[in-house]
């Protein structure tokens, strides 16, 4: 009759690959930008590549810690669901 709504942890576990792929698009764009900068070879190529690599590392670390945080939220949600069924 009434369907149980999926919890946040179930949603995150079901869509984990999609979330990671979606968050990876800016890094792919930065890699393409590096290729274009190397192809065009502008006068300020070192500055452009430095900025792109800095932003790539910064964004990569942000995504890494965000994925870790989502994992802990998913595990915490699973723990809360299992405790609810035990009581």
Which tens digit of pLDDT belongs to each residue from 1-47?
567 887 777 787 788 889 889 999 999 999 999 999 999 999 999 99
Give residue 71's pLDDT.
80
Q: How far is CA 71 from CA 3, 33, 42, 60, in A?
A: 25, 31, 42, 17
Residues 15-30: b if buried by 16+ CB within 10 A, e if exposed? eeeebeeebeeeeeeb
Give the Cα separation of 24 and 9 in Å (integer): 21
Tokens 């669901």 identify what position?
81
Say whether pLDDT at 83 is over 50: yes
The SS3 call for residue 86 is helix
């Amino acid at each position: 009759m009434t369907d149980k709504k999926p919890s946040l942890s179930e949603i995150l576990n079901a869509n984990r690959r999609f979330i990671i792929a979606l968050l990876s698009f800016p890094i792919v764009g930065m890699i393409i930008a590096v290729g274009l900068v190397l192809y065009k070879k502008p006068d300020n190529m070192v500055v452009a590549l430095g900025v792109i690599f800095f932003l790539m590392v910064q964004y990569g670390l942000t995504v890494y810690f965000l994925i870790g945080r989502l994992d802990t939220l998913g595990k915490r949600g699973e723990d809360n669901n299992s405790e609810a069924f035990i009581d």
